[in-house]
Amino acid sequence: MNIRETTAEDWPLIYPFFVSIVAGGETYAYPEGLTSDAARALWVPGPPTRTVAAMDGAHVLGSATMGPNRPGRGSHVATGSFMVDPGAQGRGVGRLLGSHVVDWARTAGFRGIQFNAVVETNTSAVRLWQSLGFLIVGTVPGAFRRSDGSYVGLHVMYLDLT
């Protein structure tokens, strides 16, 4: 398993699990029913955002985006987003992608990494980020509507790199 920057050829391999994960309704507050082009514009917007894929040979197991969380006076803090093909879960793909983003942000000179919206019931993600050193800064109550219609909180998580 290795990680590399995505190429135009990767997108058709990422889009199916992007759709599946968004439609699952448990982890991302993205618009639903995005066309492939609209989803690509979100996931692979280009610089200053960087998008990578976790590869097993020619298979894309997951993908991550990373870049400044804000422009201007907030651009010293990075952010990232992560998707793992549901068929590749349990193989450590999320951890590999998370570690990659932390290493990238540290090397690029960011002072920290902020995740703006981690669904509190997505406990495997919360625990993974905590194991990488992220802290829960706070939780916006009820800010995410799950697929069953219930409202759960969104964690703001932060890793200090200074």
Axis-axis angle for helices 36-43, 11-24 (nearest 10): 90
Binding of a second copy at residue 158 (CB under 8 A)?
Answer: yes
Binding of a second copy at residue 81 (CB under 8 A)?
Answer: no
Q: Return the residues of window 30-59 that contact a second copy according to CB under 8 A.
A: 30-32
Binding of a second copy at residue 28 (CB under 8 A)?
Answer: yes
Structure token pair of residue 124: 């495997």
Contacts of 107 (CB under 8 A, 6+ apart): none
Measured distance CA(74)–CA(72) in Å, rounded: 5
Contacts of 161 (CB under 8 A, 6+ apart): 102, 105, 106, 110, 111, 112, 113
Binding of a second copy at residue 138 (CB under 8 A)?
Answer: yes
Count of residues in contact with a second copy, rule CB under 8 A: 38
| Distance in Å, CB of 22 to a second copy, minimum | 8
| Distance in Å, CB of 78 to a second copy, minimum | 11
Q: Please state whether beta strands 135-145 and 151-160 pair in parallel, antiparallel, or not at all (unpaired).
A: antiparallel
Instruction: For a second copy, give the closer residue by CB, 22 or 93.
Output: 22
| Distance in Å, CB of 156 to a second copy, minimum | 6
Q: Which residues bind a second copy (CB under 8 A)?
A: 22, 25, 28-32, 69-77, 111-112, 114, 116-117, 136-146, 151, 154, 156, 158, 160, 162
